[in-house]
Amino acid sequence: TRKLILDLDTGIDDALAIAYALGSPEAELIGITTTYGNVLVEDSARNCLAVLDLLGAPHVPVYPGLPHALARDGFEVLEISAFIHGRNGLGDAALTPSPRAVEGTSAVDFIIEASRAHGEDLVYVPTGPLTNLAASLKKDPGLAERLTVVLMGGALTVSGNVSPWSEANISQDPEAADAVLRSGVSATMVGLDVTLRTLLTYEHTRRWRELGTAAGDFLADMTDYYIRAYETTAPGLGGCGLHDPLAVGVAVDPSLVTMLPINLAVDLEGPTRGRTIGDVERLSAPRTSRAAVAVDAERFLTEFMSRVTALARTR
Ligand code: BDR
Ligand code: CA
């Protein structure tokens, strides 16, 4: 089985990504590293631990990540993030706190150790800013040759969601994202190009509520909040984007998307800061990254719903 590490700023769709990973028999979730973005890094840890407990995975370790972007000295949650994900990051849905704490090993050291232990079997799935991964590559440059990355972030063929050019995860730490994409690490970008085509609606959450389980109620409450927020921020879209779960989906089954091989970089200056774009300096170099540009949304949604619903039925 494939080993997965998720790097999460949990976050409603990050929590749904945990559920999808746990419900996927092809993959073993060997750990979660935490990052900031939708919430503070310590709140991401609190949410990850509580969601793991609720979903019957209290054995999955959570490793503390870096609290802010490489080039900054602090981080504050944006108003828009608090609006979309709720004050607690989970749509203000009620959740029993976990008695567990994060591990003593840092996210950076865990990523490096796990890549040495599992080599090609490991897929690292960041669904927040790329700060932890950039710091790991800095500490261990050999990591770029060992690691396979499937990341949620960026926008290549559509506009951004925090500016016309920039997507939220990349915009939090453009320097980190640029360093990752230019490092030569094998990276698959699952950006807004595809994640805004995989939408969840009240029709779907109703199925979770009908389970009558604690997990079903929690997933439905949290996701209904997210759908309501999307009705305000993206009226007419018709649901909420399954951004982070789709990255897990692609990590488990790459055939869900069509990929464009392209060496990517990130604009760091001017109004387009945070934009993911083809790297003109590496046009004829071997391609180490690829961008998902089309998705079999129907197949993904069917898989997502059947896996997450089966998991929530027993909890
Ligand atoms: C990304 O930003 C966050 O709000 C979501 O969790 C997702 O990872 C979408 O742009
Ligand atoms: Ca996220």
Neighbours of ion ligand 2 (CB under 5 A): 9, 11, 14, 127-128, 244
Strand order in the sheet with 289-295: 62-63, 27-34, 2-8, 122-126, 148-152, 186-190, 289-295, 257-261
Active site residues per annotation: 9, 243
pLDDT in tens, 182-194: 999 999 999 999 9
In terms of Cβ atoms closer than 10 Å to its own Cβ (0-12, 13-18, 19+), residue 74 is: exposed
Which residue ranges of the chain lie beneath pLDDT 50?
none
pLDDT in tens, 55-108: 999 999 999 999 999 999 999 999 999 999 999 999 999 999 999 999 999 999
User: How far apart are alpha carbons 292 and 306 in whole angstroms?
Assistant: 23
Q: What pLDDT is recorded for position 1?
A: 87
Instruction: Give residue 66 CA to ligand 1 midpoint distance, Å.
Output: 18
User: How far apart are alpha carbons 196 and 240 in whole angstroms?
Assistant: 8
Atom index in ligand 1 nearest the CA of residue 195 equals 9
Looking at the CA of 12, which ligand is closest?
Answer: 1
Task: Report which secondary-structure segment, H or E, holds 124.
Answer: strand 122-126
Angle between helices 174-182 and 131-139 (to 10 degrees): 50
